[in-house]
């Protein structure tokens, strides 16, 4: 069922920008980014054209897991500023026509949260049932090896249970030992969380990104997993991912909070292990659960089962086929989120593109082109619009993320050398996404402090924001054009998706169509020239080049060949019928026209502003 452009929700044509505040901008010079640092760079976000900002957690926290271990849901950690600073950010975004999406962690809290501290004091405490407390396994004493209530492995490695001597019991934590899981089976827990969310909505928040929300329903009774791995632990994930009451819980959340807010919110559920078919049920508007989900399927394709750091080759047909399957599954009901990177993933250009100096810029543009031309809501992670690559960490001691430091200990038990572990972390550590954004070429990158909490990339001057802002052919301006394209053309936001040459190992190609309007997207995902003849791509006569990623001095004379990491978006004339086979393989040049953004600058207002001169040059 196609959405009507006149009535489709605002987020179908929007782009969301994720801010990880610890690494965005340092407003007080203490080495850690903060809310005042975010406020200082709102011009950058407004010029980019995004309509919403997803703010990673700024709550009071011991920071064992970067703030995703929440000690107080209704405050701001002094590290980031004050609640007044957050109110000021909400007001400033709204004044610029942008929305704030708050990151909320509803599956677990920090062990420093008052709820957990009360629950561990006594079996009779009213908060005892707010968490998953269990006695040692029969025949064992608390703290003995094998005494854990189940054999589950946590997502960060090690047992998913920790013994607490004060409580004389084990508590469940699917992530770090400092992140005990909340018991959603206990109604007072849900009521408290819903009340907290309503409190944030009253402060002006425009939606929520809900961390690992599909883990809140556990399959009862809690029991051992059938198979054990080399560490002696079992895979308990099937017992917690999208459990038996998950739809009931999400519908209650929508009924009690999200659907009664009096405004059109954006709700995103981060969901581990969810399939495209399950995503339809979660995002079907008639079911009233969430607007879209964050899938992990495409970001697990390059890793060995059970070990995300054991990197495997990723054939292009597998990656594009996975995303195409999600496009197909949610074509008639539900909605897709689109992302290649976020705070939990390494940098997209290093992972899926080519971060060598000769190819970093062009491959970053190519990846952005294919992602933003899919159907769904794109999410841009901070620095992605600059083509930021992975950081070249030189030693294991340089990593700070809890998942990475835990992995060092685990990998050593497997007999891996430190060099081998370093290579794995330099490919997949979450710390790559958390190094500071370089605003200038200055030694501190314009971050605001000489010694930030994580080091700046040693080559940050080559992709600093101020230099890219002055360069109309930069990665930054390419993102601006892509975002403008989505806001201006209904076919980009709402058109159908048809993959082309799905088995080709270097070509990423697909068609978008809405009524008589059609776009052809082609990208060469390699550093070698790629002739289109014989690939299965047919470029109809009169096709118009709307957007490309080459600099003018790199533009090829032969339009039938894609240069290394070249991407093109072509508009197909109304009335052309692809089924008739009319067209060319690309040997004849496509009709050359002014880029789309120049054409629309004269005729269309997008998001309340006209396109500017520096948005029209790239081909």
Q: What share of the chain is helix, strand, coil (3-state, %, to 5)?
A: 30, 15, 50
260: confidence class by pLDDT, cuts 50, 70, 90: confident
User: Which residues, at least 6 apart from 2, have a Cβ–Cβ distance to it below 8 Å?
Assistant: 494, 496, 514
Q: Which CATH number applies to 10-110+187-215+265-469: 3.30.1280.10, 3.20.20.80, 3.30.70.980, 3.40.920.10?
A: 3.20.20.80
Q: Tokens for 258? A: 């999200």
> 496-615: which CATH architecture?
Sandwich (2.60)
Note the pLDDT of residue 262: 66
Note the pLDDT of residue 586: 42
For the segment 433-475, what is each residue's pLDDT rounded down to a tens digit?
A: 999 999 999 999 999 988 999 999 999 999 999 999 999 999 9
Cα–Cα distance, 382 to 343 (Å, whole number):
9
Query: Does residue 585 carry a pLDDT above 60?
Result: no
Residue boundaries of the structural domains of the chain: 10-110+187-215+265-469, 111-181, 496-615
605: confidence class by pLDDT, cuts 50, 70, 90: very low
Note the pLDDT of residue 231: 85
**CA end-to-end distance (rounded Å), the chain:** 34
Cα–Cα distance, 520 to 513 (Å, whole number):
9
For the segment 103-132, what is each residue's pLDDT rounded down to a tens digit?
A: 999 999 999 999 999 999 999 999 999 999
Once rounded to an integer, what is the mean pLDDT over residues 273-290?
A: 95
Cis peptide before 221, with omega less than 30 degrees from 0? Answer: yes
Note the pLDDT of residue 535: 94
Q: Tokens for 192? A: 């408290």
Cα–Cα distance, 158 to 162 (Å, whole number):
10
Note the pLDDT of residue 178: 97
Cα–Cα distance, 542 to 583 (Å, whole number):
9
Longest CA pairwise span in the chain (Å): 79
Which among 480, 469, 481 is positioned nearest to 599, based on CA atoms?
A: 481
Query: Does residue 513 carry a pLDDT above 70?
Result: yes
User: CA neighbours within 13 Å on the CB side: how many for 610?
Assistant: 9
Which among 237, 231, 235, 218 is positioned nearest to 146, based on CA atoms?
A: 231
- Reduce the DSSP state of residue 539 to 3 states and report it: strand
Contact 500, 321 (CB under 8 A): no
CB atoms within 10 A of CB 374: 20
For the segment 183-227, what is each residue's pLDDT rounded down to a tens digit?
A: 999 999 999 999 999 999 999 999 999 999 999 999 999 999 998
For the segment 368-383, what is each residue's pLDDT rounded down to a tens digit?
A: 999 999 999 999 999 9
Cα–Cα distance, 378 to 492 (Å, whole number):
11
Cα–Cα distance, 159 to 362 (Å, whole number):
43
User: Which residues, at least 6 apart from 301, have a Cβ–Cβ distance to it below 8 Å?
Assistant: 314, 318, 319, 322
Residue with tokens 């390494």: 346
Cis peptide before 487, with omega less than 30 degrees from 0? Answer: no
CB atoms within 10 A of CB 537: 23
The alpha carbon of residue 327 and the mean position of all alpha carbons in its chain are separated, in whole angstroms, by: 17
- Which residues form the catalytic set? 211, 270
Contact 33, 25 (CB under 8 A): yes
For the segment 324-342, what is each residue's pLDDT rounded down to a tens digit?
A: 999 999 999 999 999 999 9
Residue 322 to residues 59, 344, 370, 398, 566, Cα–Cα distance (Å): 35, 20, 14, 34, 22
For the domain made up of 111-181, the CATH class stated in words is alpha beta
Alpha helices in 230-380 (DSSP H): 246-256, 276-283, 316-329, 348-351, 360-372
**H helix or E strand, kind and range, residue 42:** helix 42-48
- Record the pTM: 0.92
């Amino acid at each position: 069922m196609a959405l009507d452009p006149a009535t489709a929700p605002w987020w179908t044509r929007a782009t969301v920008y994720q801010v990880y505040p610890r690494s965005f901008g340092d407003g007080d010079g203490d080495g850690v980014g903060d809310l005042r640092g975010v406020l200082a760079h709102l011009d950058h976000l407004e010029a980019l054209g995004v309509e919403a900002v997803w703010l990673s957690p700024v709550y009071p926290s011991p920071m064992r897991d970067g703030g995703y271990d929440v000690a107080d849901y209704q405050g701001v950690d002094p590290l980031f500023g004050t609640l007044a600073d957050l109110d000021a950010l909400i007001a400033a975004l709204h004044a610029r026509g942008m929305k704030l999406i708050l990151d909320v962690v509803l599956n677990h809290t920090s062990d420093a949260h008052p709820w957990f501290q009360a629950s561990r004091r006594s079996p009779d405490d009213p908060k005892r049932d707010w968490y998953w407390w269990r006695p040692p396994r029969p025949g064992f004493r608390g703290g003995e090896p094998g005494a854990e209530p189940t054999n589950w492995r946590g997502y960060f490695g090690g047992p998913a249970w920790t013994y607490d001597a004060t409580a004389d019991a084990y508590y469940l934590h699917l992530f770090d030992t400092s992140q005990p899981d909340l018991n959603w089976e206990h109604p007072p827990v849900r009521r408290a969380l819903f009340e907290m969310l309503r409190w944030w909505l009253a402060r002006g928040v425009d939606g929520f990104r809900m961390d690992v929300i599909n883990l809140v329903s556990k399959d009862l009774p809690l029991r051992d997993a059938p198979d054990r791995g080399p560490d002696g632990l079992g895979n308990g994930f099937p017992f917690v991912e999208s459990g038996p009451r998950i739809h009931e819980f999400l519908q209650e959340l929508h009924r009690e909070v999200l659907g009664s807010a009096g405004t059109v919110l954006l709700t995103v559920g981060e969901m581990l292990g969810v399939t495209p078919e399950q995503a339809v049920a979660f995002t079907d508007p008639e079911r009233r659960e969430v607007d879209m989900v964050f899938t992990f399927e495409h970001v697990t394709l390059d890793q060995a089962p059970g070990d995300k750091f054991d990197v495997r080759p990723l054939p292009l047909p597998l990656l594009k086929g996975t995303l195409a399957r999600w496009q197909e599954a949610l074509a008639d009901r539900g909605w897709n989120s689109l992302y290649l990177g976020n705070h939990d993933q390494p940098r997209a250009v290093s992972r899926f593109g080519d971060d060598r100096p000769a190819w970093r810029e062009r491959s970053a543009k190519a990846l952005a082109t294919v992602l933003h031309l899919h159907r769904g809501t794109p999410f841009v992670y901070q620095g992605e619009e600059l083509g930021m690559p992975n950081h070249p960490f030189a030693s294991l001691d340089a990593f700070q993320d809890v998942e990475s430091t835990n992995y060092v200990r685990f990998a050593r038990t497997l007999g891996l050398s430190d060099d081998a572990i370093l290579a794995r972390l330099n490919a997949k550590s979450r710390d790559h996404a958390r190094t500071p954004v370089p605003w200038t070429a200055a030694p501190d990158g314009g971050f605001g402090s000489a010694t930030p909490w994580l080091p700046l990339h040693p080559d940050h001057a080559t992709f600093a924001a101020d230099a890219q802002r002055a360069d109309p052919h930069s990665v930054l301006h390419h993102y601006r054009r892509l975002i403008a394209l989505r806001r201006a053309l209904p076919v980009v936001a709402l058109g159908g998706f048809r993959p082309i040459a799905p088995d080709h190992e270097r070509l990423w190609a697909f068609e978008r169509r809405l009524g008589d309007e059609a776009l052809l997207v082609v990208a060469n995902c390699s550093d070698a020239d790629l002739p289109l003849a014989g690939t299965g791509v047919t470029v109809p006569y009169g096709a118009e080049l709307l957007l490309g990623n080459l600099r003018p001095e790199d533009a090829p004379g032969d339009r039938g060949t894609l240069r290394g990491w070249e991407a093109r978006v072509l508009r197909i004339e109304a009335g052309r019928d692809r089924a008739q086979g009319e067209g060319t393989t690309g040997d004849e040049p496509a009709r050359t026209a002014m880029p789309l953004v120049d054409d629309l600058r004269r005729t269309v207002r997008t998001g309340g502003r006209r396109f500017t001169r520096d948005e029209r040059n790239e081909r």
